[in-house]
């Protein structure tokens, strides 16, 4: 996968977040480059209410 904008946009950005689709209508936001935030990811979903926090099914069952 190649980010839109290539190296120019990558070097001009302070934080880089990769967004991708997951299963069951969930989406993943992953911090891939930040000067002070660790690499991490979170799950969310887009509903009629807007953007809501979510967890993958395996986490919801715990």
Distance CA 12, CA 41 (A): 22
pLDDT of residue 62: 46
Sorting pLDDT into bands at 50, 70 and 90, what band is 3? low
Neighbours of 54 (CB within 10 A): 20
Q: Which residue has the tokens 């891939």?
A: 32
Distance CA 28, CA 43 (A): 5
pTM here is 0.69
Task: Return the ∠ at Cα 46 (arms to 43 and 48), rounded to 5°.
Answer: 145
Distance CA 57, CA 32 (A): 23
pLDDT of residue 59: 53
pLDDT tens per residue, range 21-58: 988 889 999 998 888 999 999 999 999 999 999 876 66
């Amino acid at each position: 996968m190649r980010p839109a904008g290539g190296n120019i946009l990558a070097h001009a950005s302070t934080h880089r977040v990769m967004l991708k689709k997951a299963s069951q209508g969930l989406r993943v936001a992953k911090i891939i480059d930040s000067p002070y935030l660790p690499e991490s990811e979170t799950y969310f979903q887009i509903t009629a209410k807007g953007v809501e926090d979510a967890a993958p099914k395996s986490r919801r069952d715990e």
